[in-house]
Chains A and B, each alone.
Chain A
Amino acid sequence: MSTSYVTLARQVGLMAEMQTVANNVANVSTTGFRREGVLYSEYVQAGPPGRESVSIAAARARTVDLSQASVERTNAPLDLAIQGEGFFLVETARGERLTRAGHFTPNENGELVTPEGHLVLDAGGAPVFIPPEAQAISVAADGTLSADGRPLAQLGLVVPVDPQSMKREPGQLFATEAGTEPVIEGTAILQGYLEGANVDPVLEIARMIEVQRAYELGQAFIDRESDRRSKLIDTLTR
């Protein structure tokens, strides 16, 4: 029996992997989206003494690809892209969250918010206020936001202490329980640009075909196993 179960575990994992491919492709135009992947781990069941053990592959972990995506020019003064590692810090109802999606706008009170309405925080953890009469807003590479040449705030850029502990949330947000620390150097903020999704269509389609073929292989294996077993029953009951 274990032959079919081992294959079934693999099929379930492949279905989940297909779902991550579909999600990556669906988000190919989502600003600041990070592609995800599934990792399989081996689940070993010890056999009786002297016999070989059974090893089952199960989708037990996922990966978040944090590599840099390409940036696109939008010319909007409050579209900010991060070049290098780091995240913007935003305040949600559930606590502080990290995001790479830098499409910001002032809200009705003049505070800088994301399209979902979450407050963008500065390096000191306070909301960023943009005076309504400000004409020219410029953001320097180090995150210093100035209106008409007068510095207003410095946008906070942080990195999670433990990148593996990051949990995804809707709206390109990441939650981290381990805490964050400020980015020291090597990261620049580009004003008038947005970072796209780091989904590579070629890679995703290749992975999709691979998953599909592996799934069909598994299916053929289950068929073959079923044939073998019915032949066995035929032979034994003749």
Chain B
Amino acid sequence: MQSLKIAATGMSAQQLRVDTISNNLANMSTTGYNARRAEFADLHYQQMARAGTINAADGTVLPTGVQLGLGVRPAAISVDLAQGALSQTNGDLDVAIEGRGFLEATLPNGQPAYTRDGGLQRTGDGLIVTSDGFPVVPDIVVPDDARSISINAEGEVYAYFADQVEPQLLGQFSLVGFSNAKGLEALGSNLFAETAASGPPVVGLPGEDGLGTLRQGYLEDSSVDAVRELTELIEAQRGYELNAKVITAADQMLGATTQIR
């Protein structure tokens, strides 16, 4: 009876893989999206005959024993943190992070969230917020009468005014790094939250500690590679069919068993 259940674990693993791939493909054009990849691990092993058992007949010791595997389970869905390509948008509040850092935003409940989506916006009061309207840390307010703003690689935001020659420094973005950025919890809307596995956030300025620099007028594309996703999709589909085939065969064997006279 085990074969049926083992093949079923295989089918649900391949199903999970297809789910992951379809989410990646759906987010092919999402700014700052990182592709996910399902990782699998084998399940426990059943000991039919333990290695080292003494063979009753003549006293020899079994060198290997019989261990039967019980299938597969998802081990992790890991985030591929490779840098996506940058595309030019010319938006003055579009910033791409070139490096491993994250921008910090404050959620309405006061909790911090981290994002690589640099498509920033301005509220009616001039406060710089993420595309979902969450204020970016630290608060930077752009005055109404600013003619244009420029953001340099170190994240310093300058405003130009019609009646002034020298630009005015409004503030400087900070970037946040994690020991294990793959351990961050995805909140949706391109936001991530700290977990015990990610390590505490390390706040720094752009250009420091390998956090990366900012590039104004660009957005980071999704890092999804369509060719790879499609080949994985085919693999997952075939894997699913193979497991279904095993279920059919195991079922026929069990059918034969029930017909024993």
Contacts and interface: CB of A to CB of B under 8 A. Distances in A.
A94 B234 CA distance: 38
Interface in B66-95: 66-72, 75-76, 78, 80-82
- Which size class do A's interface residues fall under? 35 or more
B230 interface: no
Given A30-B72, A62-B66, A132 B245 contact: no
B114 interface: no
A211 to B, nearest CB: 8
Contacts of B250: 18, 22
A209 B248 CA distance: 11
A61 B45 contact: no
B242 interface: yes
B44 A170 contact: yes
A30 B42 contact: yes
B6 interface: yes
A201 B41 contact: no
Contact of A115 (B39, B45, B210, B235): B39
A133 B78 contact: no
Contacts of B245: 25, 205, 208
Contacts of A15: 3, 253
B66 A60 contact: yes
Given A132-B199, A171-B75, A223-B260, A25 B68 contact: no
Nearest to B9: A26
B192 to A, nearest CB: 15
A198 B141 CA distance: 58
A230 B72 CA distance: 45
B2 interface: yes
Contact of A25 (B43, B180, B242): B242
Interface string B14-28: 100100000000000
Contacts of A19: 2-3, 6, 68-69
B51 interface: yes
Contact of A59 (B66, B82, B177, B253): B66
Nearest to A44: B57
Contacts of B39: 31, 103, 115
A152 interface: no
Given A201-B242, A222-B260, A165 B69 contact: no
A27 B66 contact: no
Interface stretch (A105-113, A153-161, A181-189): A105-113
A14 B199 CA distance: 49
Contacts of A14: 253
B51 to A, nearest CB: 6
Top 3 closest pairs, chain A to chain B, by CB: A26-B10, A23-B69, A108-B199
Interface of A: 11, 14-16, 18-31, 33, 36, 38, 43, 59-63, 74-76, 101, 103, 105-110, 115-116, 132-135, 148, 164-165, 167-172, 201, 204-205, 208-209, 211-212, 215-216, 219, 222-223, 226-227
29 contacts: A14-B253, A19-B3, A22-B71, A25-B243, A26-B10, A26-B71, A29-B14, A29-B239, A60-B49, A61-B49, A61-B62, A74-B37, A76-B80, A108-B196, A108-B197, A108-B198, A132-B199, A135-B100, A165-B51, A165-B64, A170-B44, A171-B41, A209-B249, A212-B249, A215-B253, A219-B256, A219-B257, A223-B259, A226-B261
